[in-house]
Structures are given as structure tokens and as C-alpha cells.
Structure 1
């Protein structure tokens, strides 16, 4: 007896959702991930098996052999039933997918198939979508280039100590010279009594310019 092999599509992008009651399969696009589920098909063998188990339990005793017969029946025919269900499921969803000759992926016809070229959108992207993406990327790059050409530090006093917490009221601040919560000045100038330099930080004991004591 010769055995005829069957050819199945979607072998690498199908999820088996079958259970003890029947068969169902989910086929998904290998580019975008969108999926299509085949209709749920009840397993007639499993239904007959359940009937035999019910009869066996009802009769009891040696009639339990009927349940064993049901298990044997299931092992002998369930594979063929599942193959048949798989073939029918493939035919149900086949029109929703195309196989790309460029990468061999199965992709959905609605979103990821380029009809003008006859390949998936990964191998042959949609021209206008790619153009729009390229324009957006170029615009962002130009924006960064323009931003780098501006001197953003021209009004920033980098010689003054940056303050993020007000030393007077402990409020969180975003820089500046005065606290937006209490109005106190952050960097109060302390003149040297000897050389009158105002470059000394508040609380300094000696002048950074002449070395004189700040507490004369």
C-alpha cells in the first residue's frame, strides 16, 4: 500500500489551537503579526469516544473495555482527522495570505503584500510609505543640525554655580539668579574688605584674589 504525502502551506506560521473537542488553527502574518483563525471543527472521533466512555461507565464492570476501545479508536484515527482539519483550515485562510518568493515568508495580503511588484512589503517596500519615512527622517536630522548651529549658551553664565535647590527655602528650582518660591538671590556677592574683589563665594574665609581675611 503506497503512502501519499500531503503538502501543507503555512507550516512555520501556524498555531495549533486544537483541544479534546475539536480542531482549530491560527495563521499569522510573518511581517506584521496579524492573524486569521480557522473555524472550530468538532472532532467526530472524539464525540464517538465520549459516547463509548459514557456507555462504559453506565454499564460498569467488564463493559469498561468499551472505554479502552474508545482510546484505541482515538489513537488509530485522530491523526487522519487532524490532517483533514488542517487541510480544510488552510483552504479557509489561503486567500488571506501570499508567500513571497523573495524571502519565502507568508504575509497577509491586506497589509503586507505589494501587489504592484508581487513581493512582500519587506522585500519590496511601498514607495510612497518609504518616501514619507525618508522625508520625516531628513526633517528630524535637519532639525538637529539647525539646533546645533545655534549658540544656546550665549545668555548662560557658566561662571556662576548652578543651583537646583534654593539654599534659603529648599525649594526645587531650574537655575536662574533668584528663587521663584522665596525671591532670595542665589549667588550673593561678598566683597573682599582688602581688595574689594567680588569673585569670592558666600562664606569664604579668605579672599581668592589677595588672600586677605574676609572677616576684617
Structure 2
């Protein structure tokens, strides 16, 4: 007869050669809860047998090999199943299965006890309100910030120069480099009419003279 065992899709097997241990995870927040380590008494006997086998050899060594084969840590072994049942009984009170989404969630963080569902399906009112208030504050700040002039005094029509064209130093604004004093205004002066043109211009906008040397 089959037996129902919860947590079949949200646990990790941490068992080793000395015994059994499992870690169960909340399917919402991912927090993990480890069961107590259950030492397998057969493992101690196996270590003693291995030591005697190494000491005396012969038939005792063959017996040790047989004992090691009996220590089955495979998924479907009776010892593993019994250890898993004990671990779920130990950790089970920390979890609830939500009837809305069927996920196993921790009672510490992700369970709405007033409604009987996880907080993903039925958010806690105070937490949901706090989140909505924070989102509204961000929206209102963004809307008000759009009406504040943060670029007053900045010549938006002048090509920005992140680095000084003369020494390569990082520029933090202004018309001259703070390291070498070179001009940060990128212009090309026409050799024909002496008009100033943007640094990216190839021909003078006033007389058509080529600005490429």
C-alpha cells in the first residue's frame, strides 16, 4: 500500500556515508530548513568491520565488502524512506500547503494565517498596502521631478565633452579642463571667414570652406 509523503518536490538529500539529513525549501521565498542529522548505526558497525578487515584480511575482508553493499543509500531503500518520513514529520509543522496554488510555503514568512493561503495568493493587507504606498510615492516623486529644472545654466546646445580633447582627463562640466586648462568647447574655426562651427562639421556653415585639414 502506497504512503503519502509531503515535500516530494522541494527538498534536497544531504545524506552521506554516516547517516541521513534533508533540507526542505519554501517554494515562494526559497528559505531552507534542515532536518536533524540521523546517524545510521549500521555505519558505525561498517567502519569497525572495515578496520578489522584491513587489519586481518582474508575472509574478514570479504565480509566487510558484503557489509558495505548492505548499507544502501539509494533513493528507494527502506532506510532512506524511513529517514525521509522522520524528517518530514520533524519539519512539517514549519510548512503549509496553499490551497490556491498548491505550493508548500514556510509559515514564518510566506503564510497568511488569517486567510489560510500563501501571501502570493492572498497578500497580507498591511504588507500589500506598504508596497502600494511605496510605488505611489515613487510615481509622485517622478511626476514632481519632471517639473523641476535640473539643467538650469547648462548650455544644452553645446556638444558635451566627457574627456578633455587635449589631455584626455575626465571632464565634469564647464568650459575649460580642470587638469590642463584647455578649452572643452569643441569648435572648428573656418580658415576662410573665421566663423566658429561645431567640432563635427566638415564644411563651414557660413562660407562652405572645407574644415578638414
TM bucket normalised to smaller: 0.7 to 0.9
- Measured against aligned partners, the alpha-carbon deviations of 1:190-216 in whole angstroms (never above 9, x if no partner) come to 79997xx865579x9x9743679xxxx
Show CA shifts across 1:124-183 (max 9, x none). Answer: 111111111111112212222223334555633234333333456654322323444455
Cα RMSD after superposing both structures: 3.5
Pairs within 5 Å for 1:91-110: 91-110=89-108
Give the TM-score, by structure 1 length: 0.75
Change (3 A) 1:170 1:10: closer
Once the two structures are superposed, residues 62-112 of structure 1 have per-residue CA deviations (whole angstroms, 9 ceiling, x without a partner) of: 333322431454359992222221111111111111111111111111111
By how many angstroms is 1:113 displaced? 0.7
Mapping 1:1-216, distance limit 5 Å: 4-75=1-72, 79-150=77-148, 152=150, 155-167=153-165, 170-181=168-179, 186-187=184-185, 199=196, 208-209=205-206
Pairwise CA distance, 1:120: 0.8
* TM-score when normalising by structure 2: 0.76
Structure having the higher Rg: 1
State whether residues 46 and 68 of structure 2, in contact with CA within 8 Å, keep that contact through their aligned partners in structure 1. yes
Structure 2: segments with no counterpart, 5+ residues? none
- Matches of 2:164 and 2:46, distance apart in 1: 80
Identify unmatched segments of 5+ residues in structure 1. Answer: none
Indicate how the Cα distance of structure 1 residues 66 and 140 shifts in structure 2: closer, same or farther if over 3 A, else same: same
